[in-house]
Amino acid sequence: MSKRIHILLTILMVAMLALSACGGKSKEAEPPAQEAAPLAQEAAPTEAPAVEEAAPTEAPAAEEAPAAKEAAPAEEAAVDPVIAGFDEYLSNIPEGYMVVKTAEDVQEAMDNGALMIDVREPDEYAEGHIPGAINIPLRTLAQNLDKVPTDRPVILYCSSGHRAGMGLGSLAALGYSNARSYHASWKGWTAADGEVSTEAVEGETYKVPDIDADMLAAVDDFLSNIPDGWLVVKTADDVQEAVDNGAALVDVRTPDEYAEGYILDATNVPLRTLAKNLDEIPADQPVIVYCGSGHRAAMATAALQTMGRTNVKAYPASYQGWVAAHEEAGEAEPVTATEAVTATEEMTATEEVTTTEGVPAEVEEAMESGFSVTAAVDEFFSNIPEGYQAVGDIDVFKDMMENGNIYLVDVRTPDEYAEGHIPGAVNVPLLTIADNLDKIPIDQPVMLYCSSGHRAAMSLASLDMLGYTNVKSFPPGWKGWSAAEEEVSTDVVEPGEFDMPEVNPEMLAAVAEFLTNIPEGYYAIGTAEKLQGAMDAGAELIDVRQPEEYAEGAIDDAINIPIRELGKHLDEIPADKTVVVYCGTGHRAAMSLAGLQVAGLTNVRSFPPSYKGWVAANE
């Protein structure tokens, strides 16, 4: 013991001598430590008092030095104001998730001055809405903030809650802490026998709050580009199919809710933590979010989409809908978080051998029929005739129109059609074709056109897959027709009513799912520069021309799978990265896109300029 004491005393004496020798310099070294405090305040304002309290003593100041390094990630995160803003909003979502639950609660809120905002489309609003509600369609919400007050309660609603949830999440991210959502929405209101109005209400004008420009731009970009279908996976069967094809499920409920049971192999990332755990949300595969009844899933979809995860959709029926669907079908209970991974495998096996007792007759019939959508797509591809059902010469097209009893269909949007169309054409927009088969004859020649051929070819392929063998397209489209200075009409032509062909319900559902969910841009990569960017990001190119065309020249690194062989080579087409198809001039590429999308390869895009456009851009 005496030897150890002697050593300690010796060390202490040496230390004291060192301190006395350096005493003058220690005071000069203090200012940098004090100057570090403002940096810590900038990176993390809430921690600044702790730094100031530590300043009087040298030892704590030395301990605080690593904290300045730890603040760096916060400074990096601040570089992206969108993610930082969403983290602030999501982290502070109050209990109840900003929901107004009942029609009675809505009425009480209105009686106390709340403003109702109907975020449905104008035609939905015109058919009936909650009295006093103004109409701001969801896609235009960020462009109409002057109609949204900040100093009185605001309640959003839609048809069934999903759009209202996305609208609420967007407004909340922009700082509207006074906004709420009526999740039961129009369906809940009418079911409760709430009063209905058809009188349009003009909104007042309010001062728009100060909003970060980057945040506003990101929210508007998300909202204004929401595709038809509203980023929804509708049914439990659709969820199962998506998961089978590689989609990831994210449960945004609280850990306690998740522990009581979850869907398949979903991971749990609670809504309030999404921004902090953005790296846990895959960016390279479809992602489906769900919660208990859909409200939080809608908010999560808006948040993740705006933060850059454009591969995210919601399952509005969520956990309650999943359980109900499986109980109705007499299937196994969902997995609980307390069960082992092997339990998931056991449940899957149980589902595979479960009896069909209690399954609806039409579902059992479909199960027994052995129908395969992919086999039907293969049949479509394999039987595409010579010429690919295209009429590219305008004189031939005119002759057919004059002498061939042609039924002409313009598949552009109603606004485009109204501005001018080929005389005699009826308007059946691309996204609505599956819902309007009674407007397309099966016993006379049908010609489709759009603006420049891309949508017409997708329409052609879709109708082909539904059994229409009498359809062709006019690839030059409206641009070719008007460039030739041919006659133009603005007279609306009402479609006829025709017998529908017999279509397999599974095939009809698959085609309808594809058509109704086509996003803005129509899955097209429009320029060589954008294609090069996609290639640089890892996209795979597929040349769907004939081998002899491919042999004469192709875009670098493209593989060749001729369009008629695509159905037999589906397993060679990646499902986990972007795939871009092209041909000679775009027609076959658009047909290929439609068929592959219907077959489940939702990662496929088209390059309409195709090989000719690529060569011209690189000359």
Pick the catalytic residue: 22, 158, 291, 450? 450
Q: Kindly state whether residue 523 falls inside one of the protein's structural domains.
A: no
Are residues 183 and 258 both part of a single domain?
A: no
Are residues 546 and 577 both part of a single domain?
A: yes
CB 252 within 8 A of CB 278: no
Are residues 98 and 215 both part of a single domain?
A: yes
Q: How confident is the model at residue 416 (pLDDT cuts 50, 70, 90)?
A: very high
Q: What's the pLDDT at 442?
A: 93
Q: Kindly state whether residue 367 falls inside one of the protein's structural domains.
A: no
Among 470, 493, 516, residue at a domain's last position? 493
Q: What's the pLDDT at 422?
A: 96
Are residues 240 and 275 both part of a single domain?
A: yes
Average pLDDT estimate for 464-492: 95
Give the whole-number percent of the chain exceeding pLDDT 90.
Answer: 68
pLDDT exceeds 80 at position 498: yes
Q: Kindly state whether residue 365 falls inside one of the protein's structural domains.
A: no
- Bridge partners (DSSP) of residue 449 are 410
Q: How confident is the model at residue 53 (pLDDT cuts 50, 70, 90)?
A: very low
Q: Kindly state whether residue 501 falls inside one of the protein's structural domains.
A: no
Q: Kindly state whether residue 309 falls inside one of the protein's structural domains.
A: yes
Q: How many structural domains compose the chain?
A: 5
Domain residues for the domain of 330 are 236-357
Are residues 189 and 217 both part of a single domain?
A: yes
Are residues 610 and 539 both part of a single domain?
A: yes
Q: Kindly state whether residue 515 falls inside one of the protein's structural domains.
A: no
- Residue range 346-386, pLDDT digits in tens: 333 333 323 333 333 444 444 445 688 999 999 999 999 99
With 0-12 CB in 10 A as exposed, 13-18 as middle and 19+ as buried, what is 264?
Answer: middle
**CATH code of the domain covering residue 143:** 3.40.250.10
Q: What's the pLDDT at 464?
A: 96
Are residues 243 and 326 both part of a single domain?
A: yes
Are residues 72 and 128 both part of a single domain?
A: no
Among 468, 493, 518, residue at a domain's last position? 493
Residue-averaged pLDDT of the chain: 82
DSSP string, 105-136: HHHHHHHTTPEEEE-S-HHHHHH-B-TT-EE-
- Residue range 141-167, pLDDT digits in tens: 999 999 999 999 999 999 999 999 999
Are residues 244 and 346 both part of a single domain?
A: yes
| Alpha carbon 591 to its chain's center | 23
Distance CA 397, CA 109 (A): 61
Distance CA 437, CA 473 (A): 17
| Alpha carbon 572 to its chain's center | 26
The verdict on whether 450 is a catalytic residue reads yes
Are residues 218 and 97 both part of a single domain?
A: yes
User: Does the predicted TM-score (pTM) go above 0.75?
Assistant: no
Q: Kindly state whether residue 510 falls inside one of the protein's structural domains.
A: no
DSSP 518: P
